[in-house]
Structure 1
Amino acid sequence: MLLEVRHVTQYHYDASVRESVMELWMQPQKSGSQRLVSFELEVEPPAQLFSYADAFGNAVYHFDVPQPHERLTIVARSAVETAGQPDLPEALDRGEWDRLKSDFVRGECFDFLRPHGYAVETPALRAFIERHQIDELRHFDPLTAVRKLMGVIYDAFDYETGVTTADSPIDHALEEGRGVCQDFSHIMIAICRGWEIPARYVSGYLFTNRTEGDRSDPDATHAWIEVFLPSLRWVGLDPTNNVVTGERHVAVAVGRDYADVPPSQGVYKGEAESQLAVGVSVRRARTAIAEPEFMRMAQPTFNGGRRRASSAALIDQQRQQQQQQQQ
């Protein structure tokens, strides 16, 4: 499937700021299941772009706008050909649990076996595990167990934006019984790691199809998880929609949790309040759409939260990017 992704991020300031420095995790991955056909970034005011690969192999772009400005606009355009992952077997043998304990897996996946950031076990998570008898799933082979776990999370939570924020601990979603894909992914990652199954957070996009039962917001970024099973390598699972990832998923970056791979983060200098508007569109590739039309279709809205920055203040992307991560 050939997909076109447009991701527009606009920061508006109520007074001129002197400088902005940003990092971006927006370039789709190049892998066996997806081919990056094209990727381009536009920044206004204009800035020279630099890039590097982070510790997890993600493409990260960064730039500095050193002159005064009252608005910062970032437009990322991608064309990606996706194939999805090969059909999975119905089950694996229970010896897979022993293979997960090998020195190879523990060394290769060290970062994705430990609790980290938002993906940690809490008393609320332990109560959730006990209430739904989740640890009983370990009687199955690992592949069957994680599939059933995905179904439990899907059934246990309603998808609703605005209940949690991008920096909410998993307890918020656990207490409310509602949340977005970021919350469901962190919960599932924490449980899998507790089972000693390596699990990582995947940030990306989804070509939403309501006829397939998708709950995700079509005008937002998306997130899911990947688990490492020695017999299959990395397997993508989308607990928001209770599906194995396929050709409608576009992976951008992987990390231990959301904090490793926010779409953008940075700092600015100046005494100003900021507002954020975001528009995301994922569609089958076709004739390019003019930018004003795209912005109307994506219907970006300003983040309700306003924040006054001191000189060289950190833009709290884990909070402001919630508009972007209302998955």
Structure 2
Amino acid sequence: MPIHYDITHTTVYRYRKPVRFGLHRVMFRPRESHDLRVLATDLQVSPDANIRMIQDPHSNSVALVQPIGEATELRIVCRFTIEREPGSVDQLALDPSAEVLPFAYSVQDRIDLEHYLRPHHDDPEGRLIRWAHQFLYADETNGTREVLARMNAFIGQNLSYAARDEEGTQTPLQTLELGSGSCRDYALLMMEAARRLGVATRFVTGYLYDAALELGGETTGDAVTGAGTTHAWLHAYLPGAGWVAYDPTNNLTGSGELIRVAVARDPSLAAPISGTWYGDAEAYEGLDASVVVRRLRG
């Protein structure tokens, strides 16, 4: 039976004096597929704005928001009701040719996956590839799922999570050097490491459902990391199963709690919101952002 969720995503930019706003790209709408349908949407912007909906090259839904006039606050509130089919592709059998690393994609798959297979960040001294090779065992068969599962678990268990509000993502080498990062940094680290093992990966941004936050907004158990704001993870393309979700922040695989919004070959192409404003350089006061994901009962 399908599961229904209500999602409210609120972003508020505040300024000490009135400013003018340039065009803002908003990527808040969940990404529909055979397992997820968007049943209702509502986008409210203050001050008034001209809004256009488009799709980017990855078929992500993008709202182009052009606020009108000057204001001391830009508020963007998106509400969605979605229907999610239970089940997880992490249980689907892989194509026999892809069960063990290293494996080769078909010629047709390689053409389509080229940008997801090629590393996007430099590793001049080979540190990242050496880091990736620690998950390959020399004395036993390296099952594809098992290697990715070991990497997924290792990141969250051995690095220190550090939330960041500012835009941008650390490079994989920076994350290894610091020994810490945000969900975006964790996802990019695993993406680039898996690519060096011959696995196609892509960046995913979206929302995370946490049942521990259901009772009046208070934690009722062990909360997962990343709920209450936008979250990031990755997909790995495994022949036979398709795009499989890995969340190294919470050591989740193919989890139904992950609600995707946008996918891209690199995090820089999937920012939830971006835009410009014009005015006194000292006018900017701050940003407040929140996400509430509520499962509907009955």
Structure 1 residue 108 corresponds to structure 2 residue 149: no
Question: Residue 184 of structure 2 contacts residue 232 of structure 2 at CA under 8 Å; is this kept in 1?
Answer: yes
Moved more, 81-90 or 4-13: 81-90
Q: 1:277 to 1:184 in 2, by over 3 A?
A: same
Moved more, 258-267 or 268-277: 268-277
1:95 Cα deviation from its structure 2 partner: 4.9
Between the two proteins, the alignment pairs up a number of residues equal to: 282
In structure 2, the partner of 1:239 is 248
Matches within 5 A, 1:155-166: 155-162=157-164, 166=168
1:88 maps to which of 68, 80, 91: 91
Deviations 1:4-63 (A, max 9, x none): 111111111222213331011110011112111112211001112101110111001102
Moved more, 60-69 or 259-268: 60-69
Structure 1 residue 216 corresponds to structure 2 residue 225: yes
How far apart in 1 are the matches of 2:227 and 2:296? 16
In structure 2, the partner of 1:253 is 262
In structure 2, the partner of 1:299 is none
Structure 1 residue 271 corresponds to structure 2 residue 280: yes
How far apart in 2 are the matches of 1:70 and 1:122? 46
In structure 1, the partner of 2:155 is 153
Which SS does the other structure have where 1:231 is aligned? Answer: coil
1:246 Cα deviation from its structure 2 partner: 2.5
1:261 Cα deviation from its structure 2 partner: 0.8
In structure 2, the partner of 1:297 is none
Question: Residue 40 of structure 1 contacts residue 77 of structure 1 at CA under 8 Å; is this kept in 2?
Answer: yes
Q: 1:169 to 1:95 in 2, by over 3 A?
A: closer
Q: 1:165 to 1:64 in 2, by over 3 A?
A: closer
Long gaps (5+) in structure 1 = 287-327
Q: Which protein, 1 or 2, shows the higher relative CO under an 8 Å CA cutoff with sep ≥ 6?
A: 2
How far apart in 1 are the matches of 2:30 and 2:98? 35
1:266 Cα deviation from its structure 2 partner: 1.0
Structure 1 residue 125 corresponds to structure 2 residue 128: yes
Structure 1 residue 199 corresponds to structure 2 residue 208: no
Moved more, 217-226 or 173-182: 173-182
Which SS does the other structure have where 1:168 is aligned? Answer: coil
Deviations 1:182-229 (A, max 9, x none): 111001100111112110011000112458865413211111111111
AA partner of residue 146 (structure 2): T
Q: 1:181 to 1:18 in 2, by over 3 A?
A: closer
Structure 1 residue 283 corresponds to structure 2 residue 294: yes
Moved more, 38-47 or 204-213: 204-213
Q: 1:209 to 1:160 in 2, by over 3 A?
A: farther
* Percentage of identical aligned residues: 27
Q: 1:184 to 1:95 in 2, by over 3 A?
A: closer
Question: Residue 203 of structure 1 contacts residue 223 of structure 1 at CA under 8 Å; is this kept in 2?
Answer: yes
Moved more, 173-182 or 253-262: 173-182
Q: 1:22 to 1:162 in 2, by over 3 A?
A: closer
Which SS does the other structure have where 1:186 is aligned? Answer: helix
Q: 1:241 to 1:46 in 2, by over 3 A?
A: same
Q: 1:197 to 1:283 in 2, by over 3 A?
A: same
Long gaps (5+) in structure 2 = 213-219
How far apart in 1 are the matches of 2:207 and 2:269? 17
In structure 2, the partner of 1:9 is 11
How far apart in 1 are the matches of 2:267 and 2:117? 16
How far apart in 2 are the matches of 1:177 and 1:166? 17
TM-score, normalising length: structure 2: 0.84
Question: Residue 129 of structure 2 contacts residue 193 of structure 2 at CA under 8 Å; is this kept in 1?
Answer: no
AA partner of residue 10 (structure 2): V
Structure 1 moving runs of 4+ over 6 Å: none
1:165 Cα deviation from its structure 2 partner: 6.5
